Structure 1
């Protein structure tokens, strides 16, 4: 096999690499999909609860924004499955993996926004105000776990493989 069909690092062709990266991506998406679907399903029931009518207008707006963010996150995190179905067999897996990876990153950012606004709403209702420093602390924790540590690890340990 020619050298241009092989990459450094793993001994795999571009197609084998795309196959491996697709499997890894789908496993990652499964975790996020489950969480966002459970959260979104719960959010959909809130408007049908008797106490919803008692929410102040600000809390109702936060709820609506949260539901829309949850719907968008769900769409972005389920998108890779639809993408795969629609392009399967078209010999575009490397491009599909890149696009699905971007959709997943957007979905995770939307999930972060959904969880943040959910926490904001819950704390406003539960405390009849809210504790902004607690929301900020939780968001900082999410950012650390989801972005800062992974990006730090990528920079500190990456050999430039592009994975």
Structure 2
């Protein structure tokens, strides 16, 4: 059976992370299994964790009046989920719901924030790993919004 550090070594998020830092962040992590329909977090709730999806898929949703839950992104194997643990007041911006059997590494955000504050090198390593996928998602959302604008004006 693999321990959490072994699982982390095989996730793209931790690729190239030195063993000392890997062991440090592994102390804030645990392996989780989610069934379809399980929520990882709810919009407005305390954002006290983030996830590295190892296998499966998670729908990121927001409530749209008159329409209900609206899926705006699906997070899949090899991706990260949840950055609100980094930004005060540490509240979830959306719902996250497993849409198939999902295996993930769950990080205790408060634990990891403490380690990042105590060792800025660790904090910098985490930021280097969080920022690129967040920027990519922002660029994707921008292109999607532009496409919707073009379609509305056609």
> Structures share a fold, TM > 0.5?
no
Superposition TM-score, scaled by structure 2 size:
0.31
Instruction: Kindly indicate which of the two structures has a greater share of residues assigned to helix.
Output: 1
Instruction: Kindly indicate which of the two structures has a greater share of residues assigned to strand.
Output: 2
Q: Which has the higher contact order (CA 8 A, sep 6+)?
A: 2
